[in-house]
Chains A and B, each alone.
Chain A
């Protein structure tokens, strides 16, 4: 019952109970997965070829050898026909801004130093793929829907020995 009396008179005759200090670590290392970027090698993911190609400077994705379906993000099974016979194919590195915004309030863990930054949906030229991407080299106010953008490969300098990569885009013509 919650209305039990909360008297400070001790029923055990007044002697102090034994007490000790236990020490817990100052910080607890979290699994690498919690830094947003996957471990990208073939020991950790079956789409490592996507990352290998990106590390070599090429954006790619999977295409189904049975039904021709082009997926993005890359898969291990075709969602159209359930085939697992997929091939990696190159994607164009140019596209246009389909939509964009900026993160100006608090950013997510690991990105707080980056704010403000531009996020977007990029419509790749000549292929039916729209992907989300950060835009480097421009502020929100500099940009308009339809602006041409081009791929930028990002090397991740982070808490693992693995050479991890990702992609962003930047305004086309801007080679800075």
Chain B
């Protein structure tokens, strides 16, 4: 059987932030927003359901969440149903499996849903932070209190040490993304900030400060992914998956990570995706990218390791504004994780949906990428950065 093309034809979000709502509430809100967004598809049309969710067992004391979501959204799954867990990349992983199922001819219409409930009330932040540390090897690394801010801070420190990257350059990333989020109605952080705000914020995990960090976020996002045949029946503008790569270099615990100032896994995953999509020069050929800015330093390293600039020049890329809406590649027009927050399982789904919305021109005008973008990329890292996942999207399938 020949692989078939698959495309995003719409989707929607729950509001993100500290929500007075349960996991199940969030799933329903995103499901409703998704079906409201897509004319011509209802829950009855969905044959496959793919749910990205990282820790419902801990945050919501609930397992087997995919059939729970199917029931809540009225989806009679006839072909394929599963939940994916790949820490911060769970949403993209769910999307990837949906794509593969459609490509393999197993089904024509899939709902990809990402849901995470992370805020358990201020008095239980320690539980949430514990659940973030056990994403690392708990026995040898999580036990040392390495939550995400302190872990990624060491990448910031090493990158500064090895390449002379400055905190001002990092702050440029936070400013760009948070200012995009200020125009995104579902984002957790909708306040504009400047470089000084970032540098003067509390050094919660030095050298990184509060405004260098994404948040602890309740949120959900859904999208409908359909076969090319179905997409052409439904709409003129869709976002086709053109390539997808993942890499994990047999290293997950601290001693076995390949680097503390770079992610060769990102390079490997991106090369795989570029190759499938026929992209030779990503800076020239990509119009918009949603990349994993869990911390400001992450985006700097990703400029380099996604192959956009030489190693060590990520800070300069930020300083030169090359990732602004009118720059070489519009990076994180959605507001990124820094601005939207990061409900783990929902993030990758939301990023992919943003690429679609940028193609159709449906986003708020203040964060619309100019000149009708036609090609896009999403990237997520997960856990200790041990895995990187990259997917390319385009308005036209090849």
Q: Is residue B202 within 8 Å, beta carbon to beta carbon, of the partner chain? A: yes
Which one of A98, A106, A132 lies within 8 Å of B144 (CB-CB)? A132
For A134, the chain B residues whose CB sits under 8 A away are 144-145
- Compute how far the CA of A79 lies from the CA of B253 in the bound complex, rounded to whole angstroms: 14
In A17-35, which residues have CB < 8 Å from any B CB? none
Which one of A101, A110, A114, A131 lies within 8 Å of B205 (CB-CB)? A101
Chain A interface category by residue count: 35 or more
- Compute how far the CA of A131 lies from the CA of B127 in the bound complex, rounded to whole angstroms: 25
For B137, the closest partner residue in chain A by CB is A73
For A37, the chain B residues whose CB sits under 8 A away are 143
Q: Is residue A153 within 8 Å, beta carbon to beta carbon, of the partner chain? A: no
- Compute how far the CA of A117 lies from the CA of B145 in the bound complex, rounded to whole angstroms: 9
Q: Which of B137, B139, B141, B144 has the most CB of A within 10 A?
A: B144
Q: Pick from B86-94, B150-158, B175-183, B324-332 the stretch touching chain A.
A: B150-158
| Given A102-B206, A104-B203, A131-B254, A111 contacting B153 (CB threshold 8 A) | no
- Compute how far the CA of A130 lies from the CA of B258 in the bound complex, rounded to whole angstroms: 11
Residues on B lying within 8 angstroms of A by beta carbon are 125-127, 129-130, 132-133, 137-147, 149-151, 153-155, 157-158, 161, 202-208, 210, 250, 253-256, 260
| Given A107-B129, A119-B145, A132-B146, A72 contacting B203 (CB threshold 8 A) | no
In A97-139, which residues have CB < 8 Å from any B CB? 98-112, 114, 117, 119-121, 129-134
- Compute how far the CA of A106 lies from the CA of B145 in the bound complex, rounded to whole angstroms: 10
State the Cβ distance, B41 to closest chain A Cβ, in Å.
21
For A145, the chain B residues whose CB sits under 8 A away are 157, 161
B153 touches A36 (CB 8 A): no
Which one of B127, B140, B150, B255 lies within 8 Å of A102 (CB-CB)? B150
Q: Which of A101, A121, A134 has the most CB of B within 10 A?
A: A101
Q: Is residue A38 within 8 Å, beta carbon to beta carbon, of the partner chain? A: yes
State the Cβ distance, A67 to closest chain B Cβ, in Å.
15
Q: Please list the 10 inter-chain residue pairs (A to B) with the smallest Cβ-Cβ separation, ordered nearest first.
A: A101-B153, A99-B154, A109-B130, A108-B130, A106-B125, A132-B254, A101-B150, A108-B129, A105-B204, A72-B255
Which one of B150, B161, B255 lies within 8 Å of A130 (CB-CB)? B255
- Compute how far the CA of A37 lies from the CA of B150 in the bound complex, rounded to whole angstroms: 20
| Given A36-B138, A106-B126, A110-B130, A140 contacting B206 (CB threshold 8 A) | yes
- Compute how far the CA of A130 lies from the CA of B251 in the bound complex, rounded to whole angstroms: 13
For B256, the chain A residues whose CB sits under 8 A away are 72
- Compute how far the CA of A26 lies from the CA of B143 in the bound complex, rounded to whole angstroms: 27
For A106, the closest partner residue in chain B by CB is B125
State the Cβ distance, A101 to closest chain B Cβ, in Å.
4
For B143, the chain A residues whose CB sits under 8 A away are 36-37, 166
Residues on A lying within 8 angstroms of B by beta carbon are 36-38, 72-73, 79, 98-112, 114, 117, 119-121, 129-134, 140, 145, 166, 168
For B142, the chain A residues whose CB sits under 8 A away are 36, 108
For A109, the chain B residues whose CB sits under 8 A away are 126-127, 129-130
- Compute how far the CA of A129 lies from the CA of B254 in the bound complex, rounded to whole angstroms: 9
A107 touches B145 (CB 8 A): yes
B206 touches A104 (CB 8 A): yes
Instruction: Report 10 cross-chain contacts, Cβ distance below 8 Å, ordered by A residue.
Output: A36-B138, A38-B139, A73-B255, A107-B126, A109-B126, A117-B145, A119-B150, A119-B154, A129-B255, A132-B140
B255 touches A108 (CB 8 A): no
For B129, the chain A residues whose CB sits under 8 A away are 105-109
| Given A119-B145, A119-B146, A131-B254, A108 contacting B260 (CB threshold 8 A) | no
B260 touches A99 (CB 8 A): yes
- Compute how far the CA of A131 lies from the CA of B151 in the bound complex, rounded to whole angstroms: 13
For A38, the chain B residues whose CB sits under 8 A away are 139
State the Cβ distance, B75 to closest chain A Cβ, in Å.
17
B206 touches A132 (CB 8 A): no
A104 touches B157 (CB 8 A): no
State the Cβ distance, A34 to closest chain B Cβ, in Å.
8
B141 touches A132 (CB 8 A): yes
For A104, the chain B residues whose CB sits under 8 A away are 202-206
For A105, the closest partner residue in chain B by CB is B204
For A103, the chain B residues whose CB sits under 8 A away are 145, 147, 149-150, 205
State the Cβ distance, B44 to closest chain A Cβ, in Å.
16
A108 touches B145 (CB 8 A): yes
- Compute how far the CA of A104 lies from the CA of B254 in the bound complex, rounded to whole angstroms: 21
| Given A119-B150, A121-B260, A105 contacting B205 (CB threshold 8 A) | yes
For B140, the closest partner residue in chain A by CB is A73
For A102, the closest partner residue in chain B by CB is B206
- Compute how far the CA of A41 lies from the CA of B158 in the bound complex, rounded to whole angstroms: 37
For A112, the chain B residues whose CB sits under 8 A away are 126
Beyond A107-B145, A119-B150, 19 additional pairs, beta carbon < 8 A? A73-B137, A99-B155, A99-B157, A100-B154, A100-B157, A101-B150, A102-B205, A103-B147, A105-B202, A108-B129, A108-B147, A109-B126, A109-B129, A112-B126, A121-B154, A121-B254, A130-B255, A131-B254, A145-B161
For B253, the closest partner residue in chain A by CB is A73
